[in-house]
Amino acid sequence: MTAEELWNQSGLKGTYETWAFSEASDKLADLVVQGIKTATCSAYDLYIANNERIPEEGDYSIILNSNGEAVCIIKTTRVNVVPFCQVTADHAYKEGEGDRSLAYWRIVHENFLRNELSSIQQTFTEMTKVVCEEFEVICRSEK
């Protein structure tokens, strides 16, 4: 199903973004559909470098799988920009990955953020700002 088809099926009005998780897109999209993953994060500096808008509460996004197919619509419920070292155990748990601990989250996301930042010739530190986004699933694709 395409993003446009899912959006039309949902009956929602307004605008939406479409995106896929940059790493393990199918696995992470599946966690979202199952309701396990209710949060995500990304490098703040990447938004700035690419002149992109930071997500805001109330935004709609259509999550895509690795084939570009729409799997669900999410609505952003909370956004915080914090240094990496201040991401909470609660946020790590909501990301739904691994054992859901902050220790696991920090290892995986330090590597992820290093890769993201290297694409814009920036270096990761504990003070690197991250955009922490929480969301809820509004509509799932019918397979």
Can you give the CATH number for the domain in which 58 is found? Answer: 3.10.400.10
pLDDT digits (tens, 9 = 90+) for 94-128: 999 999 999 999 999 999 999 999 999 999 999 99
Residue-level pLDDT at 33: 95
pLDDT digits (tens, 9 = 90+) for 9-39: 999 999 999 999 987 899 999 999 999 999 9
- Assess if residue 45 is contained within a domain: yes
- Mean pLDDT rounded to a whole number for the chain: 95
Q: Are strands 70-83 and 129-140 parallel, antiparallel or unpaired?
A: antiparallel
Q: Is the pLDDT of residue 68 over 70?
A: yes
**In the numeric block, which tokens belong to residue 101?**
């601990």
Print the domain residue range for 44.
Answer: 3-132
Total domains present in the chain: 1
pTM summary value: 0.92
